[in-house]
Structure 1
Amino acid sequence: MKLSDNGKILLKVTEEDINEEGSFDIPAGVSTIGEEAFRDCSKLKHLIIPEGVVSIKSSAFMYCSELQSIVIPPGVTSIEGYAFYGCSGIRSLVIPKGVNRIQIRTFHGCSGLESIIIPQGVTAIEFGAFYGCSRLQSIIIPEGVTSIGAGAFNGCSELQRISIPKGVSTIGNQSFMDCTRLQRITIPEQVTSINYEAFYRCSRLETITIQEGIISIDKSAFSECPRLQNIVIASQSEAVRERISGLLPKPLKNRVILKELAEEVFKFRDAELSRLVQIPETNPLFRFFHMKSRHSSRVSGENGVEQECRKLPVELLQTINCFSDDNRYYQKARRHIMRLTLPANAEALQDYKNKVTAIVNECVSKAKEFTHHVNAAKDQGSIHRAEESRTRVALIR
C-alpha cells in the first residue's frame, strides 16, 4: 500500500494488501482514493469505503473484476470517469447524494450490474457511462438530468424500461444502441434532436412516442429496428405529422400516426389478431395433438398395460395456441398488417380497419382449410410420416 506524504490520498493498493476474505481496510485520514489506486486488484471482492473519503479518482477500481460489493459513504461528492470500468462482478450500487455527474465511462463494462440508484442531484450522464451494463433491466434517471451523452446506455441489452427526463434536449449518438429488450419509449417534449444511431439495433423496439417540438432525426437513428411499427406523434395537427414524417427515412414514413388515433388503431389491430390465437386450427401444435386424439388409440403404460389415449380438450388446445410465436398464421397476418400505412386522419381510419380485417379473415380461412386437408389425409392413412413423427406424446388417462 502506498499513501501520499500527508496520508490523505490512497495512491496504490496491490494484490498482497488484500486479505484472505478479499477485503481491504482503508486507513483512517484518507480523503481521496487516487487514480488507478486499486486497478487490476483481482483479489478484491468486498470494500467498505470509510467516512471521510470525499473523492474517487479516475480508474480507481478499473478491472477489479472480482469486486462484488462496495459501500460508498454519503460524503463522497466526486466519482471520476472510468472509476469502475470493467468491474464485471458488481451487482448493485448506490451513488451518494452529493455526486452531480455520472462521468465518462464510469461503469463501462460492469456487465453484472443489475440495479443502481442515481441521486436526484445528478444533472448529467456522460459519454459511455453505462456502456455494456448488459444485466441492467431498469434504471430511474432523475428529473434533474439535462444531458445524456453519446453511448450512455449502449449495449444495455437487458434494459426493458427507461424514462427520459423532461429537461433532456438531445438524444446523443448511440445513446441506446443495442438495447435489445427495449420495447417502447417516450421522447420528452424538450428534445429537439435524435442523433446518429441513437436506437440502432434495438431489435424489440415496437413503439416510440415523439413530441411535436422535434426538429431533426438522423436517418440512422432507428436503423436495424425490425419491429418498430408505431411512431406516435403527440399532437393533433396533421401538419405536424407531415413535418415529422418528412424527417424520417422512407421505410418509416408509413408508420407515423397521431396520438389521438393511435389508441383506437392499436386496440382494433390487437383484437383482430387475437382471433388467430383463439382458433386452435391456426397452430400446428393443435394439428398434431388433434390428430393424435381424433381416433381411439391405445398405448402401453409404464407397467406394460395398454391404456386408451383420451382426446385433449379444446380449452387446452387453445392454451397451446396462445404461444403466438409458434403460430405461423398469426405471424403472417401480423407481418402483412404492419406493412399497411397507418391512417393519417379519422377519414382514413375505416379503410385501414377494413384492410386489417380482410388480412385476418384470409389467414383464418387458410388455416381452417389446411387443417381440414390434413385431417382428411390422416383419415385416408396417407399423412406423411415426417409430420407424424415430430413428437411422440401420449396423454395417459
Structure 2
Amino acid sequence: MDDASGRKRKCDTQLDNVFLYYKGGKVAEGMKSQITRVRIGPQVKDIPHNAFRGCTNLTEVQFGEGSLEVIGDGAFYECRALQQVILPSSVTDLGACAFYGCINLAAVKLNEGLEIIEMSTFHGCRALQRVTIPLSVTKLDNYAFWGCCDLVKVQFSEGLEIIGQAAFNECLALRSVTVPSSVTRLGSFAFIGCINLTEFILLGGERLLNQESLDRGLLGVERALNKKKLSEMIGNGNSLSDDCPLRTDAFHRCPLTTLKISIPRALSERMERLPRECRLSIEQRVHDLRRVELTQDGNILACFPLPRRSSVLDTVEDTNDETAESLHQVLQLILFMNSGSRAF
C-alpha cells in the first residue's frame, strides 16, 4: 500500500513537471498550467503573440542558437515562475509585453542583433537586477522596464537613439544612469518615480555644450549649456529663451539635483596626452571646483543644477554662470598645459 502510494505520488510529480519541445504555433490552453520547461526547436523562426501567455509554472526556456527571429507580443506574458532568459543572437524583434509580469525573472541576456525593445517588454519584471542593452538596439520603447523595482544597473551602449516615455518608471533601485552620446531623445517621464536616482550623466558633450564657446578657447564667460540641443533631447516642445527655462519632466519624482554632461572627448584626450604631473595638477583643480567632476575613467563632467520647486524638478539652470566659469577654468588649464608641454 505504502509502495503503491509512493509510486502514485512520484507519477503525479512527473505529470506536474512537463517538458515541451516547441515546434511553433500557439500552445494549447489546457497544457499551459502544466508546462515547466520549454526547448525552442532550431527550425522555429517566430514565436507568435501570446504563445506561452499564462504559463504560470514555466521556469525555464531553452532558446539555443537556431533561426528564431521574432518573439511576438505577449509571448511569455505573466510567466511568473520564469527566472532567466538568454536570447539568441538571431532575435531581432522583441515584441510588446513579451515578458510582461514575469515577476521572478531575475536575469536577462540580450545579444547583439536585437534592434528594438518594444513597448512594455519587461514591464513588471520586479526581480530583474541588471541589464545590458546591446550595441544593435536603437530604441527602448515606452514603458519597456516600468516597475522593475530591483533593477540596480542598466548598461546602455552607443547606438541607442531613443529612450521612450516612462521607460524606467518606478525602477526604485536605480541610483546612477549614464546615457550614451548617441541618444537623441528621452521620452516624457522616462525615469519618473526612480526615488533613489541621484546621478544622471549625459555623454553627448559635443552636442549638449556650447560648441562655439569651446572653439573660441573659452575666453570670457559664455553660457556653457546648449539649451536648444538639450531641449531636442529632453524637452517637451517648449519655446526656449532666457525667460522660459527648459523643463525636465524626465526626472519627475527623482531626488536628482544635478544633470551632468561630459565635455567633448577631444578635450579629454588632450588631457590624457599630458605628462603625469600636469594631469595631476588638472585633477586637483577639478576637485577644488564646485561645478565640474572627474570620473574614475577620466571623463570631465560639467554639472548643471536642477532646482526643485515644491516636489517637481522643473528646470536646468546654470546659476550665476558658475558651471560655465568652472568649466572654463579647467579647459583653459588643459590648453595652457598642452601649449607648455609642446614647448618642451
Same fold, judged at TM 0.5 (above): yes
Letter in 2 for 1:202: C
Give 1:74 shift.
Answer: 1.8
Structure-to-structure mapping, 1:143-162, within 5 angstroms? 143-162=135-154
* Contact 1:126–1:148 under 8 Å retained in 2: yes
Equivalent position of 1:81 in the other structure: 73
* Contact 2:135–2:160 under 8 Å retained in 1: no
Deviates more, 1:181-190 or 1:340-349: 340-349
* Contact 1:40–1:61 under 8 Å retained in 2: no
Give 1:151 shift.
Answer: 0.6
Letter in 2 for 1:344: T
Letter in 1 for 2:18: S
Q: 2:292 aligns with which of 261, 266, 269?
A: 261
Provide the aligned C-alpha RMSD in A: 3.0
Q: 1:65 aligns with which of 32, 56, 66?
A: 56
Letter in 2 for 1:232: K
Give 1:179 shift.
Answer: 0.8
Q: 1:220 aligns with which of 226, 245, 249?
A: 249
* Contact 1:37–1:61 under 8 Å retained in 2: no
Query: Which runs of 5 or more residues in structure 2 are unaligned?
Result: 1-12, 208-229, 236-247, 265-288, 296-317, 330-344
How far apart, in 1, do the equivalents of 2:326 and 2:73 lie?
54
TM-score, scaled relative to structure 1: 0.53
How far apart, in 1, do the equivalents of 2:327 and 2:94 lie?
47
Structure of larger gyration radius: 1
TM-score, scaled relative to structure 2: 0.61
Correspondence 1:180 to 2:172: yes
How far apart, in 2, do the equivalents of 1:348 and 1:74 lie?
50
Correspondence 1:105 to 2:136: no
Question: Per-residue CA shift, 1:69-95, capped at 9, x if unaligned?
Answer: 121232222211100000111111111
Correspondence 1:165 to 2:165: no
How many residues align structurally? 232
Equivalent position of 1:233 in the other structure: 261
Equivalent position of 2:15 in the other structure: 20
Q: 2:111 aligns with which of 114, 119, 124?
A: 119
Equivalent position of 1:331 in the other structure: none
Query: Which runs of 5 or more residues in structure 1 are unaligned?
Result: 1-17, 237-257, 265-339, 351-397
Question: Per-residue CA shift, 1:319-368, capped at 9, x if unaligned?
Answer: xxxxxxxxxxxxxxxxxxxxx96942456999xxxxxxxxxxxxxxxxxx
Letter in 2 for 1:22: N
Relative CO higher for 1 or 2, CA cutoff 8 Å, sep ≥ 6? 2
Equivalent position of 1:199 in the other structure: 191
How far apart, in 2, do the equivalents of 1:131 and 1:183 lie?
19
How far apart, in 2, do the equivalents of 1:101 and 1:52 lie?
17
Helix, strand or coil for the counterpart of 2:97? coil
Letter in 2 for 1:205: L
Letter in 2 for 1:229: T
Q: 1:348 to 1:131 in 2, by over 3 A?
A: closer
Give 1:102 shift.
Answer: 1.3
* Contact 1:40–1:62 under 8 Å retained in 2: no
How far apart, in 2, do the equivalents of 1:174 and 1:97 lie?
27
Structure-to-structure mapping, 1:267-346, within 5 angstroms? 343-346=322-325
Letter in 2 for 1:83: A
Helix, strand or coil for the counterpart of 1:105? coil
Q: 1:31 to 1:25 in 2, by over 3 A?
A: closer
Give 1:124 shift.
Answer: 0.9
Letter in 2 for 1:261: V
Sequence identity, in percent? 27
